[in-house]
């Protein structure tokens, strides 16, 4: 709302033939680039402009250039500006009316008016309108979004599958040709580990042994 208000005030003081800020900036950039171009008159409003090692045909009557920028943007390209400056013409006359003050005034002829807070609205006896109820459609709800016509489809990851039986790529254990047709590979069995249990007799003999050694040495 604030941006539209600023442009509304700006359009009120704008002349019909003046360029917008965007058009002025583009024309300045293209004018600086046109210094490196050279034009040659061919007659009938046609010119040949040399830009480096490339030549472009320019027609002032049709407002066209071989590069296509003039026709696509509505403003003269650097090749067309080179011809316009050599002919001592005003570049503003060759800019589309879309970038001039008359179109700017028409686009921002109206502005947004302020609105009071809902607490200041007058009372009403009309019933409150509620949103319609949500009805679930038949079938399973879709999980993935709908892709566009030109959007790439999601591919299946089948090349990165590795079989747990033969360790080959491209299939799994269920479709393995070297297996016995079972759906799962047999689980690996761990080797049983035996833990030594210490009893009270072993503990007593282990403690008494050092004493016996000392007595024999004595």
pLDDT tens, residue by residue, 32-61: 999 999 999 998 889 999 998 999 999 998
Q: With respect to residue 93, please indicate whether it lies within any of the assigned structural domains.
A: yes
Q: With respect to residue 91, please indicate whether it lies within any of the assigned structural domains.
A: yes
Q: With respect to residue 47, please indicate whether it lies within any of the assigned structural domains.
A: yes
Q: With respect to residue 73, please indicate whether it lies within any of the assigned structural domains.
A: yes
Q: With respect to residue 4, please indicate whether it lies within any of the assigned structural domains.
A: no
CA distance 47 to 83: 7
Cα-to-chain-centroid distance, residue 78: 31
Query: 202 pLDDT exceeds 70?
Result: no
pLDDT-derived band at 67, boundaries 50, 70, 90: very high
pLDDT at site 30: 93
CA distance 77 to 33: 9
Q: With respect to residue 26, please indicate whether it lies within any of the assigned structural domains.
A: yes
Q: Residues 109, 11: contact at Cβ < 8 Å? A: yes
pLDDT at site 29: 94
Q: What is the mean pLDDT of residues 188-216?
A: 54
How far is CA 39 from each of CA 59, 89, 90, 112, 203, rounded to the nearest angstrom? 12, 14, 17, 49, 111
| Number of domains present in the structure of the chain | 1
pLDDT at site 169: 82
Q: With respect to residue 204, please indicate whether it lies within any of the assigned structural domains.
A: no
Host domain of residue 39: 19-99
pLDDT-derived band at 88, boundaries 50, 70, 90: very high
Task: Tell me which of 83-97, 121-135, 149-163 is least confident.
Answer: 149-163
Q: With respect to residue 140, please indicate whether it lies within any of the assigned structural domains.
A: no
Q: Residues 79, 49: contact at Cβ < 8 Å? A: yes
pLDDT at site 94: 93
Where does the chain have alpha helices with state H?
2-12, 21-33, 69-73, 78-86, 101-107, 200-217
């Amino acid at each position: 709302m604030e941006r539209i208000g600023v442009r509304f005030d700006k359009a009120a003081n704008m002349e019909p033939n003046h360029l917008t800020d965007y058009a002025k900036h583009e024309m300045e950039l293209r004018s600086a680039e046109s210094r490196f171009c050279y034009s040659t008159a061919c007659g009938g409003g046609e010119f040949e402009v040399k830009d480096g090692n490339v030549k472009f045909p320019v027609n002032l009557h049709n407002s066209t250039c071989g590069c296509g920028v003039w026709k696509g943007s509505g403003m003269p390209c650097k090749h067309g500006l080179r011809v316009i400056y050599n002919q001592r013409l005003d570049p503003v006359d060759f800019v589309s009316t879309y970038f001039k003050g008359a179109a700017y005034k028409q686009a921002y002829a109206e502005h947004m008016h302020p609105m009071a807070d809902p607490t200041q609205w007058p009372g009403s006896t009309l019933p409150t309108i509620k949103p319609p109820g949500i009805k679930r459609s038949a079938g399973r709800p879709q999980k993935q979004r709908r892709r566009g016509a030109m959007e790439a489809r999601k591919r299946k990851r089948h090349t990165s599958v590795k079989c747990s039986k033969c360790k080959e790529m491209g299939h799994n254990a269920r479709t393995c040709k070297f297996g016995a047709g079972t759906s799962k590979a047999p689980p690996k069995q761990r080797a049983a580990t035996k833990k030594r249990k210490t009893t009270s007799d072993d503990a007593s003999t282990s403690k008494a042994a050092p004493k016996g050694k000392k007595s024999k040495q004595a």
